[in-house]
Structure 1
């Protein structure tokens, strides 16, 4: 799984920036063939253990 976290100032109806930052966290999951199987999801339950990706040329 991978995640993207963003923080930004929303634009108000009058075109000015809001004074309060908004944050979003999106999670993406891929299957063994690198196909996207979850997009803009949110994890539910306990966190899964992290496994570092292997390089294509070695362990």
Structure 2
């Protein structure tokens, strides 16, 4: 049984992620495309083709599907 605070919804949404750390080179150039696996009011599972180093500051734009 899943003991999460908020109900998760399986939903695949397009995401764009880019590094935003000031004074540092972007981790992956302009950014990368990714997608959500599931969403809730308090979080999302995001699947990416690359990893960002721990502590990276990123901007995430999620294009929500109409459901």
Same fold (TM over 0.5): no
| Higher relative contact order, structure no. (Cα contacts within 8 Å, ≥ 6 residues apart) | 2
TM-score where L is the length of structure 2: 0.28
More strand by share: 2
